[in-house]
Amino acid sequence: MKHTTRLLIAALAMWTVSCIPLTAQEEFTYNGDTGPGYWSDLESDFSACAASPSGHQSPIDIDAVIEDSRLDTLNLLLSEMPFTLINNGHTIMATPKFGGTLRLDGDTYTLAQFHFHTLSEHAVEGNRGAMELHAVFTDANGNNAVIGMLYKIGRPNLFVQQLIAAGLPKLTTSAPVTINRLGLGDAFTDTSRYYTYAGSLTTPPCSENVSWVVLKQWAELSPEQFEAFRTILGNDFRPLQKRNQRVVRATAR
């Protein structure tokens, strides 16, 4: 084949690939032309992801908080239960076999799943953690309450070690991993001290139906444990969003 013909075919092949339109299967990513700045363009029902002066998007930098002495220790009911770990292409997510509840502002939320972001998504006074855990709870009306907990590099973390020991699923095609007994309550540091604000899911469709609870006390994990997650997740944190007119309340403790 002549050199010019080969070039032409290669160019045509590239053109064909680049002209494939975005489909419903198009996945959001954390960089490039399907990255956070473009999420709202990927699908019509991702419009909440767009920056807006009245938006209630997450994550945010937690700063200038207002103490509220009415905020009590979190009312959590979490027993040990089996979990299934999967890699969904955006995060490592654990789904419980059965419930677990969080009562917040008179509403009851049921544990749906927990997952991780590296680095952390929330920042506190401009400081990011190495990793963030999100425990997602949902109420009967489809509203969410999410407990966020940031990690810094330090001592080995017993809860995180249980997930690593079970085998973190590396790829979306990896088989799901079952953990027979895991107490999510063991993951949390101090559930009596936290920040809370009204926000959104940090992934498309970025729905603004999340009561965020971010624990004040950061957890620790070892450099090796961080690496185990980081090599699989890469950068899966959404950039900080504008706080706009929102109030962030904090426990008085």
Residues serving a catalytic function are 90
Letters for 158-177 (x = contact with Zn ion by CB under 5 A, - = none) are --------------------
Q: How far is the CB of 150 from Zn ion (least distance, A)?
A: 12
For Zn ion, the closer of residues 134 and 243 by Cβ is: 134
Asked if 122 touches Zn ion (CB under 5 A), the answer is no
Letters for 82-121 (x = contact with Zn ion by CB under 5 A, - = none) are ----------------------------------------
Letters for 130-149 (x = contact with Zn ion by CB under 5 A, - = none) are ----x---------------
Piece in contact with Zn ion (CB under 5 A), picked from 3-11, 18-26, 128-136, 153-161: 128-136
Q: How far is the CB of 9 from Zn ion (least distance, A)?
A: 43
Q: Which three-class secondary structure string do you get for the chain? A: CCHHHHHHHHHHHHHHHHCCCCCCCCCCCCCHHHCHHHHHHHCHHHHHHCCCCCCCCCCCEECCCEECCCCCCCEEECCCEEEEEEECCCCEEEEECCCCEEEECCEEEEEEEEEEECCCCCEECCEECCEEEEEEEECCCCCEEEEEEEEEECCCCHHHHHHHHHCCCCCCCCCCEEEEEECHHHHCCCCCCEEEEEECCCCCCCCCCEEEEEECCCEEECHHHHHHHHHHHCCCCCCCCCCCCCCCEECCC
Binding site for Zn ion (CB under 5 A): 134
